[in-house]
Structure 1
Amino acid sequence: MSIRVCLAGATGWAGSALAQGIAQTNDLSLVAAVSRSHAGQQLGIVLNQPKLDCSVFATAEEALSQPCDVFVEYTKPAVALNNVLQALAQGSHVVIGTSGLDDAAYAIIHEAALKAQRGVLAVGNFALTVVLLQKFATIAARYIPYSEIIDYASDKKIDAPSGTARELAYRLGQVRDSAQTVPTEEIVGDQATRGARMAEQQVHSVRLPGYVISIEAIFGMPDQKLILRHEAGNGAEPYVDGALLAIRKVNTFVGLKRGLEHVLDLD
C-alpha cells in the first residue's frame, strides 16, 4: 500500500519539484495539495504532470478532508504552525520544509506530536550536502570553541535567518555555546553589527541579488581556521530526494526530530 501524501505549497518553487518527484515513485501517492493561487484545479494540469490527479485546495484544513498518512508543510512561516497542528490533530505524520519557525513553535509542535503519537521531521534544508555540513560542523564544535554562522540568500527571501541557519545554530548549541573573546554586550559601537545570538551561537544573514541559498560555518583557533560552506544552485531538484526520504521515514518515531540525519545512517 502506498503512503498517502498531502502537500501544502504544492505549486511553489520547492513544492512543485517535490510533487513531480512523488509522481515518479511507486510507493507514494499525492492525494491532496494546497495552493491558494490554484485552488479548485487539478494539480496535474497546473504542473503539466498527468500522474498527479489530486485536487488543489485553498487551505490545509480543506485539504486534510482527504485522509493522508503524511502531511508535508512547504508554505510560509505565518501559517506553517497552524497547518502542522491541524495535520497532527487529523492523525497524520508531518514533514516540515518551511523555514522561519522558531524554537518556541517547535516546542509546541513537539508536544502536539507526542499527544497525537505521531512523528514530525523538521528539515531546514533537504540537500545531502547540507546534512553533511551540519554533521561535520557538530564534530568540529566538539574541538573548537569559537565559531560563527553566515547565512546567504536572495534579496527576496523574507525570513532571516534561513531555516538552514536556524537548524545549524540549534545543532551547534546542543554541543556547546560559541565562545566570544569580547562579549556582544561589551562591544564598542553598534552591537547589531555582530549579528544575532541564537542558541548561544553568533548568526549573520546576508540578503543580496545573485544568491540562492548558501551557508558557512566558520571555526577559529589561534593561527588557523576551518570553513565549511554549502552552495545551492538555482534548481529545487537537490531537495527532492531528501524530502522523499523524510516522507518515507517520518512514521518511524514519535515526537519532533529536527534534521534529516535522524533518518540517515551517518555514524
Structure 2
Amino acid sequence: MTLRICLAGATGWAGSELARGIAACADLQLVAAVSRKNAGRVLGDVLGDARLAGSVHASAADAMAAEPCDVFVEYTKPVSAKANILTALAHGAHVVVATSGLTTEDYAEIDEIARQKQRGVLACGNFALTAVLLQRFAEAAAKHLPNWEIIDYGSATKADVPSGTVRELVTRMSKVRKPDVTIAPDKANGPGEARGATMEGIQVHSVRLPGHVLGVDVVFGMPDQTLVLRHNAGSTARPYVDGGLLAIRKVSGLVGLHRGLDKVLDL
C-alpha cells in the first residue's frame, strides 16, 4: 500500500530534503505540500525535481481539503505548528511533528485530541540517529549520576530556546529523576539568569551564535569526574531524512502522542 503524504514546510531547508527523500520511495507519495510563499505551484517546479507532482497550498486546511492524506508531516514554524497538527487530526490523518518550539501544554492538548480521533502523533525533536542515541544514553546515565545540566547550541538565527531536541530531552530525563542542583539560581551570588533556565528541574543554557547549526551537551558531574554526552549536527539536512521516512512509515501504528524517534526504533 502506498502512503499518501502531505508535507507542511516542504520548501524549507529540512522539509525540501525530506520531500526529495519521499520522492525516492516507491511506497510513499507526496500528494500535497504547504508553503504560503509558493502556493498555487507544483512542488517539483519549486524544488527542481520532476518526481514531485503534488500541488503547493497556502495552508494546511487548504491542502487537506484538496488532497486527503494518510500522514501529515509538520515541518514549519512554532507559530503555525499546533494549528496545522490539529487541522490534520480533524481531517483524519496521522501526524509526524518535526517542528520545535511546542510546549508541554501544547503536546498535552494534541495528545487528548489524537486519542479522541484514534490517530497517532509522533513528535521528534530530532530525526538524526546520533541525537536519538544521545537521548537514550542520557536517560541511562541519569539513573546513576545525580548531577547534570544541559547546554543547547543553535545558530544565530534560531529563535526558539531551547531547541525541540532539548525540550524533548528535558522531558525525558526529568521522568527518570530530577537532578540535584548544587547552586539554585535564587541562591547565586550574581544574576540568577547566569545559571540558565530551570526546566522541569533541570538547568538549561541556550547558546545562539554564528557557526553553530544544532548541538547538545549533557554534562554530568561527580566528585573528581565528569561525563559529557554530545551531539553535533552538520550544515546539511541529509541526516534527518532517514529518520523522517521511518517516522512516516511507523506513525500509523500509534494512537495518541508519542515523543521521540526511539518509540518506533528497536533500541
With the length of structure 1 as denominator, give the TM-score of the two structures. 0.99
**Deviation digits for residues 141-177 of structure 1, max 9, x if unmatched?**
0000100010001001111100011111111111011
Shift of 1:183: 2.1
- Residue 104 of structure 2 is aligned to residue 114 of structure 1: no
Shift of 1:187: 1.5
Q: Aligned with 2:251: secondary structure?
A: helix
Count residues with an aligned counterpart: 266
- Residue 173 of structure 2 is aligned to residue 172 of structure 1: yes
Amino acid corresponding to residue 31 of structure 1 in structure 2: V
> Where do 1:51-62 residues align within 5 Å?
51-62=51-62
Match in the other structure for 1:216? 217
Amino acid corresponding to residue 5 of structure 1 in structure 2: I
Shift of 1:185: 1.9
Distance in 2 between residues matched to 1:62 and 1:114, nearest whole Å? 24
**Deviation digits for residues 43-66 of structure 1, max 9, x if unmatched?**
011111111100000101101111
Distance in 2 between residues matched to 1:199 and 1:59, nearest whole Å? 34
Shift of 1:186: 1.4
Amino acid corresponding to residue 264 of structure 1 in structure 2: L
Q: For the aligned residues, what is the CA RMSD?
A: 0.6
Distance in 2 between residues matched to 1:199 and 1:247, nearest whole Å? 30
Deviates more, 1:183-192 or 1:230-239: 183-192
**Deviation digits for residues 186-211 of structure 1, max 9, x if unmatched?**
12210011111112111110000010
Amino acid corresponding to residue 78 of structure 1 in structure 2: V
Distance in 2 between residues matched to 1:251 and 1:198, nearest whole Å? 31
Distance in 2 between residues matched to 1:125 and 1:91, nearest whole Å? 25
Match in the other structure for 1:241? 242
Match in the other structure for 2:4? 4
Shift of 1:184: 2.1
Match in the other structure for 1:255? 256
| Percentage of identical aligned residues | 60
The answer to whether the 8 A contact 2:151-2:207 is kept is yes
The answer to whether the 8 A contact 2:184-2:195 is kept is no
Amino acid corresponding to residue 255 of structure 1 in structure 2: G
Match in the other structure for 1:19? 19
Distance in 2 between residues matched to 1:108 and 1:89, nearest whole Å? 13
Q: Aligned with 1:143: secondary structure?
A: coil
Amino acid corresponding to residue 232 of structure 2 in structure 1: E
Q: Aligned with 2:236: secondary structure?
A: coil
Match in the other structure for 2:74? 73
Match in the other structure for 1:184? 185
**Deviation digits for residues 5-53 of structure 1, max 9, x if unmatched?**
0000000000000000000001100010000111100001111111110
Gaps of 5+ in 1: none
Amino acid corresponding to residue 157 of structure 2 in structure 1: K
